[in-house]
Amino acid sequence: MVDIGLFGLILVAIAAGFFLGWRQRGRRLQQDSHHFGPSYFKGLSYLLNEQADSAVDAFVESLEVNSDTLETHLALGNLLRRKGEIAKATKIHQNLLARPSLTTPQLHEAQLELARDFVHAGLLDRAEGLLKELVDVNSQYKVEALGHLVEIFQDEREWENAIEAANQLSHRRFGRGSGEPAVARAHFSCELAEDAMERNDVLGARRHLHKALGFDRQSVRASLLLGELESRLGNDREALKVLQRIPHQDPELLVEGLDLVCTCYERLGDHRGLQRYLQELLAQYPSSSLVIKMAEQIRWAQDDYAAADFLGDQLRQRPTIKMLSRLVELHLLHSEGRARENLQLLKQLVDQVLEAKPSHHCRKCGFTGNQLHWLCPGCKTWGSIKAITGVEGE
């Protein structure tokens, strides 16, 4: 299918290019009898015959590359890339790079654009080579080049390289979403720590996690992983110390460490300590998961009825579907006959509603899902996904 928009685009570019070329030639020759070079007409005829590839060739041929026309070449190349015409954009940028008449900064700009073409085409090795050159020669496009390099290393899961490139950006934001560089660097270190944990490299994992906290003191992911590491090693007290930092780091991620906190307290046989801790949290940061955990503790210390009473009270204060589901579950344990059948039906309905609703969402782009992604799949921002709150969530 022929893209009419693309033809329009190239036509406009040829017209603009022709105007610039004509103005320049006009100045040189002081005559206007040869405005339309043969390549221009050739380009036009290709357009009329809907041959976009040849039209781009004709454009490249017809418009001399110099300081006056550089912007036109770059603008057309970038527009073509945005429209997904990567091969044509590449042709235009490569044509610019082959012109020694351009100044060094102009050549660097063309090189950056060509690297962007390669990124879009998925030719990451080629893009990486061009971008590294721009960084090495300290080009004025170094920051942009480093931003793209971070993205490439991130996509390739080359975390050490990603940290190194991001370090050179210091406090500047880079590429796509990404978010705060310090936050991103902490996540890169956490990725390295997860790899080390998979290899049972305890020392390596600890080193990466402390580095992550060095980048970002508020890194919940680093605290969670440190807690997991210590608890795996049987250091439950140490794990608790780390995990209990999470509510202060980011209360919105508090529920993510809750299961592990409970496991550590339970393994230590410290049910009173757990109840006290849950109570303190509940007073400051009420959520469905906390209420359900607290109800479990009441159930363990007293009985199902006391737990159901507690859940009922909490539901009246802050109704959520999750708490309702747990309350119905508790009542089901002590009901029979018709009442039990009705409760089962209610439980089914409530659980269907819960299943249909996402549990997490991205604060930045609105992406929703049923698990916590540290890197938002929608906008590629680190740490922007949180648990959903309200009746349908926490």
Instruction: Rule CB under 5 A: say whether 196 interacts with Zn ion.
Output: no
Q: Which stretch binds Zn ion (CB under 5 A): 49-57, 90-98, 183-191, 370-378?
A: 370-378
Residue selected from 379, 383, 386, 394 as contacting Zn ion according to rule CB under 5 A: 379
Task: Write down the least CB distance from residue 381 to Zn ion, Å.
Answer: 5
Assess contact for 104 and 69: CB atoms under 8 A: no
Interface characters, 129-168, with Zn ion (x: CB under 5 A): ----------------------------------------
CB of 176 to Zn ion, least distance (A): 10
- Interface with Zn ion, residue 179, by CB under 5 A: no
Give every CB contact of residue 90 below 8 A, 6+ residues apart in sequence.
114, 117, 118, 121
The phi, psi pair for 362, rounded to 5°, reads: -90, 130
364 binds Zn ion, rule: CB under 5 A: yes
Q: Give the binding range for Zn ion (CB under 5 A) out of 9-17, 221-229, 340-348, 374-382.
A: 374-382
Q: What are phi and psi of 115, to 5 degrees?
A: -60, -40
- Contact between 225 and Zn ion (CB under 5 A)? no
Give yes or no for residue 376 binding Zn ion (CB under 5 A). Answer: yes
Site for Zn ion, residues 100 to 119, rule: CB under 5 A: none
Q: Which of 354, 365, 372, 388 binds Zn ion (CB under 5 A)?
A: 365
Strand, helix or coil for residue 382: strand
DSSP state of 254: G
Distances (CA, A) of 45 to 3, 12, 56, 178: 16, 14, 12, 45
Does position 264 bind Zn ion by CB under 5 A?
no
**Which 3 state secondary structure label does DSSP give 360?**
strand
Helices 181-198 and 202-215, packing angle to 10 deg = 170
Q: What angle do CA 393, 226, 373 make, to 5 degrees?
A: 35
CB of 213 to Zn ion, least distance (A): 24
* Residue closer to Zn ion, measured from CB, 7 or 374: 374
Which one-letter DSSP state was computed for residue 287?
-
Tell me how long the chain is.
394
Q: Assess 215 for contact with Zn ion (CB under 5 A).
A: no
Q: What residues line the site for Zn ion (CB under 5 A)?
A: 362, 364-365, 367, 376, 378-379
